């Protein structure tokens, strides 16, 4: 009797188990009429996988989720274990490359590609996109080097590591790996086509072709995708106060049928009409003796050697804790927590405008600075001073938005 795999067809994660099944001689069938986003939210599905994610394999002993675990389970049902290596060392190497395909490639590729396409849990951010694409390239470089001397990842035939790597590469191949991009990794490209054209793999991959062009950053939510423009936005808070409807207008879907000319022109005209400037709630706060321009001037004009005595002492003299508040931010999803900072906001809360307009605000943990706590004050000083070392780590890059 066939094992049931719950997933939508064409899902690169479910293909790991389906392809492993071809090699292992195991019968696996996809559930019929699976509707992604609907079937995986039902109570019955959540009983199989409380994460609500596909794929899930139903086995005689119970359900298994996580695509690598499913593929391993299926491969182990083969008494010959053709996909799993023939010595403890080979087994370890197969596991090693499976981990590389998962942690070095798949997770970085998801962080890079999904925000560009506008789906997944992470909103697009230029910095994160750059670091994820750099991490993908670093992984591809290592794989390319290994495959310059090896036809397969391990040994002389397809193993589970090849199945998992090629499935994980599919996201890149379909969405962002153009011919030009892959020209830097010729051995990896040769390898991908070798695996993709194995009959057991091709049966599930079908005809694959490289991405024709890399996706460009989404324009919605005020994201320009360009550092300079972003910086300019940060430096011109007044511009950021444009009415929300203007900034948050969703990008028109590319496939949308062309509008009749007059309708399109009418819409363009409407878009061009200046919108009334909304009242800034920060202007309604009681006046503060702290003049931001004075602080910015002091910060910018103080020489590094006098910074502590002049700029930092000057800051605390000017600082108005009733009219302003300081906030530490720490990036939530970085294990090493290497992105952090301090912000000075008008008022006692993070302004609504910031929460609405900054698409990455939710990616940070925000903690109000308690200025009665000397250690916290000293931390603020360190952020202002930008020392070579911060929290015991070398400071790689510092940015000031004023």
Interface with ligand GSH: number of residues (CB under 6 A): 9
Q: Is 198 in the site for ligand GSH (CB under 6 A)?
A: no
Q: Which is nearer to ligand GSH, 86 or 103 (CB)?
A: 103
What is the C-alpha to C-alpha distance for residues 167 and 192, in angstroms, rounded to an integer? 10
SS3 3: strand
SS3 325: strand
Q: Is 52 in the site for ligand GSH (CB under 6 A)?
A: yes
SS3 57: strand
Q: Which is nearer to ligand GSH, 55 or 85 (CB)?
A: 55
Q: Is 13 in the site for ligand GSH (CB under 6 A)?
A: yes
246 within 8 A of 317, measured Cβ to Cβ: no
Q: Which is nearer to ligand GSH, 54 or 326 (CB)?
A: 54
Q: Is 18 in the site for ligand GSH (CB under 6 A)?
A: no
Choose, by CB under 6 A, the member of 20, 54, 64, 165 that binds ligand GSH.
54
Choose, by CB under 6 A, the member of 4, 22, 39, 53 that binds ligand GSH.
53
Joined tokens for residue 169? 């590469």
Task: Report, in Å, the least distance between residue 70 CB and ligand GSH.
Answer: 7
Q: Is 174 in the site for ligand GSH (CB under 6 A)?
A: no
Q: Which is nearer to ligand GSH, 107 or 338 (CB)?
A: 107
Task: Report, in Å, the least distance between residue 94 CB and ligand GSH.
Answer: 17
Task: Report, in Å, the least distance between residue 36 CB and ligand GSH.
Answer: 7
Q: Is 351 in the site for ligand GSH (CB under 6 A)?
A: no
Closest to 113 (Cα-Cα) out of 164, 177, 64: 177
Choose, by CB under 6 A, the member of 22, 58, 66, 127 that binds ligand GSH.
66
CA distances (Å), origin 373, targets 248, 340, 345, 369, 380? 39, 19, 19, 8, 11
Q: Which is nearer to ligand GSH, 11 or 198 (CB)?
A: 11
* Secondary structure (DSSP) of 132-186: HHHHHHHHHHHHHHHHTT-SSSSTTS--HHHHHHHHHHHHHHHHT--HHHHTT-H
Q: Which is nearer to ligand GSH, 52 or 217 (CB)?
A: 52
> Dihedral angle at the C-alpha atoms of 270, 272, 274, 278, nearest 10 degrees?
80
Chain centre distance of CA 25: 37
What is the C-alpha to C-alpha distance for residues 314 and 195, in angstroms, rounded to an integer? 65
Closest to 83 (Cα-Cα) out of 102, 103, 68: 68
What is the C-alpha to C-alpha distance for residues 364 and 328, in angstroms, rounded to an integer? 9
Q: Which is nearer to ligand GSH, 54 or 188 (CB)?
A: 54
Looking at residue 304, the DSSP 8-state letter turns out to be G
77 within 8 A of 92, measured Cβ to Cβ: no
Task: Tell me which stretch binds ligand GSH (CB under 6 A): 52-60, 207-215, 228-236, 259-267.
Answer: 52-60
Specify the length of the chain in residues: 402
Task: Tell me which stretch binds ligand GSH (CB under 6 A): 50-58, 71-79, 255-263, 392-400.
Answer: 50-58
Task: Tell me which stretch binds ligand GSH (CB under 6 A): 53-61, 232-240, 257-265, 292-300.
Answer: 53-61
Q: Is 11 in the site for ligand GSH (CB under 6 A)?
A: yes
Task: Report, in Å, the least distance between residue 161 CB and ligand GSH.
Answer: 15
What is the C-alpha to C-alpha distance for residues 332 and 364, in angstroms, rounded to an integer? 5
Choose, by CB under 6 A, the member of 67, 133, 144, 223 that binds ligand GSH.
67
Round the CA-based radius of gyration of the chain to a whole number and report it: 27
134 within 8 A of 369, measured Cβ to Cβ: no
Task: Report, in Å, the least distance between residue 372 CB and ligand GSH.
Answer: 44
Task: Tell me which stretch binds ligand GSH (CB under 6 A): 46-54, 124-132, 162-170, 339-347.
Answer: 46-54
Q: Which residues bind ligand GSH (CB under 6 A)?
A: 11, 13, 40, 52-55, 66-67
């Amino acid at each position: 009797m066939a094992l049931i795999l719950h997933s939508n067809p064409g899902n690169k994660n479910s293909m790991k188990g389906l392809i492993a099944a071809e090699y292992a001689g195991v019968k696996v069938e996809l559930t019929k009429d699976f509707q992604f986003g609907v079937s995986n939210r039902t109570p019955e599905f959540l009983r199989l996988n409380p994460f609500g994610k596909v794929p899930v394999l139903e086995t005689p002993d119970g359900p298994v989720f996580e695509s690598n675990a499913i593929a391993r389970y299926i491969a182990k049902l083969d008494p010959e274990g053709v996909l799993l290596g023939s010595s403890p060392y080979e087994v370890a190497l197969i596991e090693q490359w499976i981990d590389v395909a998962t942690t070095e490639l798949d997770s970085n590729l998801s962080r890079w590609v999904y925000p560009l396409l506008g789906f997944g849990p992470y909103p697009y951010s230029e910095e994160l996109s750059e670091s994820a694409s750099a991490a993908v390239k670093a992984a591809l470089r290592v794989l390319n080097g290994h495959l310059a001397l090896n036809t397969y990842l391990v040994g002389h035939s397809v193993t589970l590591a090849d199945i998992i790597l090629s499935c994980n590469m599919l996201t890149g191949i379909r969405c962002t790996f153009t011919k030009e991009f892959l020209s830097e990794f010729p051995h990896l490209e040769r390898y991908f086509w070798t695996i993709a054209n194995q009959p057991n793999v091709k049966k599930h991959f079908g005809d694959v072709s490289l991405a024709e062009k890399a996706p460009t950053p989404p324009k919605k939510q005020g994201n320009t995708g360009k550092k300079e423009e972003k910086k300019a936005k940060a430096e011109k808070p007044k511009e950021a106060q444009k009415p929300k409807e203007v900034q948050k207008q969703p990008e028109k879907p590319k496939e949308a049928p062309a509008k009749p000319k007059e309708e399109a022109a009418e819409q363009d005209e409407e878009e061009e009409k200046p919108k009334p400037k909304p009242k800034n709630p920060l202007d309604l706060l009681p006046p503060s003796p702290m003049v931001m321009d004075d602080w910015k001037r002091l910060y910018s004009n103080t020489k590094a050697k006098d910074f502590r005595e002049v700029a930092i002492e000057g800051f605390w003299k000017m600082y108005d804790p009733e009219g302003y508040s300081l906030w530490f931010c720490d990036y939530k999803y970085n294990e090493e927590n290497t992105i952090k900072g301090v912000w000075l906001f008008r008022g006692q809360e993070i302004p609504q405008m910031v929460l609405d307009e900054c698409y990455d605000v939710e990616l940070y943990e925000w903690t109000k600075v308690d200025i009665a706590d000397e250690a916290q004050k000293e931390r603020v000083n360190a952020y202002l001073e930008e020392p070579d070392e911060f929290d015991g780590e070398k400071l790689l890059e510092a940015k000031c938005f004023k």
